[in-house]
Amino acid sequence: MSAEVETALLRQFTPLNGLKRDNLVALSRKVQLRELSPGQVLFKEGDTEKRTIYVVSGTLELVDQGKVAGTIVGGTDPAKNPVSPVFPRELTAKARDRVQFVSIDSDLLDVMLTWDQTGTYEVSELQGEGDEAEEDWMTMLLQTKAFHKIPPANIQAIFMRMQQINYKSGDIVLKQGAEGDYFYVLIRGRALVTRETPLSKDGIKLAELHVGDTFGEEALISEAKRNATVTMTTDGAVMRLGKEDFKKLLNEPMLDWVDRSEADKIIANGGQWLDVRLPSEFENAHIDGAVNIPLYFIRLKMNMLDKDKSYVVCCDTGRRSSAGAYILNERGYNAYVLRGGVSTQS
């Protein structure tokens, strides 16, 4: 399926229809149209794999303790929303007939939604020149576990502060034994990681680096010397982030995270749930008593909030809500972030 057709298909679903065009195109590269045979199980009750699933065609049965509790038919209004979006899954999903569906990594989708609503730049503006694989370095980076652990407000600052450096084949990007100064992301070309030993002055090959791979963080975290040399094996380029920015933005959590029980205590003491997802997501499912201010409106509507009240900011996973809480805290509000988001059972 071509990117244009795929993008048109994705725009039928919520909240994908809220993404900017270029960001939706970037997401579409990570999406496949898949198929189930009649009777085939898509997921089982209790499954924890975080995939956001949409039914494109056919009928998907939702089964609770052996009994059909509901169906989702492709092309209908219910099919515009994700299938059973709570993790672990509360139901089993099984195909009644031939079912076509779209499956998206939930973490990637949430990061893309966050970036779309908070970023000064669109994804396409941050991508390098070259073929599709080379242009997709940022999407690859956003999928790394390290980026899943940091507040999305930091993600925006990281990309704004990164500096692009071009290299020729054979150039040394960093040298074993040198002081750690930058964190790197390879955005074009390939590189080789080698480590010199007493028995091998030419260096032992440790790894090959490809577009989207990161390196250099060990020395920054441990305050140690570089433990290997990275040499370009082709012409290429990296994005680099300075040591202090790395430590501040990637290595130091800056928000107050709370679990559901802690959040309930804050609410019981006069706090307020603040849901920063899109209105369509909020209407589909939300915590009782929550107020909905979409993330992209929060700067405009924060004057509606009470600075004497504590807010527990929530979304699907915590990424968008951490961005919202960051904005509120920066402006003098008392905001917490719900750990795991509303899609995680309490």
Q: Among residues 107, 158, 119, 151, which one has the least CA distance to residue 255?
A: 151
Q: Among residues 248, 278, 200, which one has the least CA distance to residue 17?
A: 278
Q: Among residues 314, 220, 227, 196, which one has the least CA distance to residue 262?
A: 314
CA–CA distance, 204 with 134 (Å, rounded to integer): 27
Angle at 115 between CA 110 and CA 132, to 5 degrees: 90
CA–CA distance, 185 with 174 (Å, rounded to integer): 12
Please state at what angle helix 21-28 crosses helix 3-10, rounded to 10 degrees: 110
| Active-site choice (9, 111, 249, 315) | 315
Question: Are the C-beta atoms of residues 94 and 84 closer than 8 Å to each other?
Answer: no
Adjacency order of strands within the sheet including 99-105? 32-36, 99-105, 51-57
Q: Please say if 315 is a catalytic residue.
A: yes
Exposure on the CB side of residue 121, measured as CA atoms within 13 A: 13
CA–CA distance, 103 with 9 (Å, rounded to integer): 12
Question: Are the C-beta atoms of residues 20 and 33 closer than 8 Å to each other?
Answer: no
Can you read off the two tokens belonging to residue 248? 């501040």
> What's CA 65's distance to the chain center, in Å?
33
89 by DSSP, 3-state: which? coil
Catalytic residues: 315
